[in-house]
Structure 1
Amino acid sequence: MRRVRVMAVMGPVEFVVLTFPGERLNVGAVAALERLRRSGAVRLIDSLVVTRSAESGEAASAHPAELPELAALFPADERPELITPHEAHEAASLLSPGDCALLLLVEHLWAAEAAQAVCEAGGRIAASVRIAPDRMAGAHAGALATA
Structure 2
Amino acid sequence: MDLGPVEYVVIAFPGNRFNGEIAPELQRLVGNGTVRILDLTFIKKDADGAVSYLELEALEPDEALVFRDIDGEIEGLFSEQDLAQIAEELVPDSSAALLIWENSWAATIAGAVRRAGGVLLEHERIPAPVVEQALEAAG
TM range (shorter): 0.7 to 0.9
Mapped to 1, the partners of 2:69 and 2:84 lie a distance apart of 24
Structure 1 residue 146: Cα displacement: 5.8
Q: Deviations over 1:50-97 (max 9, x none)?
A: 01102x11111101222222251457x833211111111121123221
Unaligned runs of 5+ in 1: 1-7
Report the structure number with the largest CA radius of gyration. Answer: 1
Partner of 1:138: 130
Question: What secondary structure, in the 3-state scheme, does the structure 2 residue paired with 1:27 have?
Answer: coil
Residue 111 (str. 1) matches residue 103 (str. 2): no
Give the structure with the higher percent helix.
2
Q: How many residues align?
A: 135
TM-score (norm 2): 0.82
- Report sequence identity in percent: 33
Residue pair 2:30, 2:70 contacting (<8 A) in 1 also: no
Partner of 2:26: 33
TM-score (norm 1): 0.78
Unaligned runs of 5+ in 2: none
Partner of 1:65: 57
Question: What secondary structure, in the 3-state scheme, does the structure 1 residue paired with 2:31 have?
Answer: helix
Q: Give the direction of change, closer, same or farther, for the CA distance of 1:145–1:24 in structure 2 (3 Å limit).
A: closer
Mapped to 2, the partners of 1:65 and 1:113 lie a distance apart of 31
Structure 1 residue 123: Cα displacement: 1.9
Give the number of the structure with larger relative contact order, counting CA–CA contacts within 8 Å between residues 6 or more apart. 2
Computed over aligned residues only, the root mean square deviation of the Cα atoms, in angstroms, reads 2.3
Q: Give the direction of change, closer, same or farther, for the CA distance of 1:81–1:146 in structure 2 (3 Å limit).
A: closer
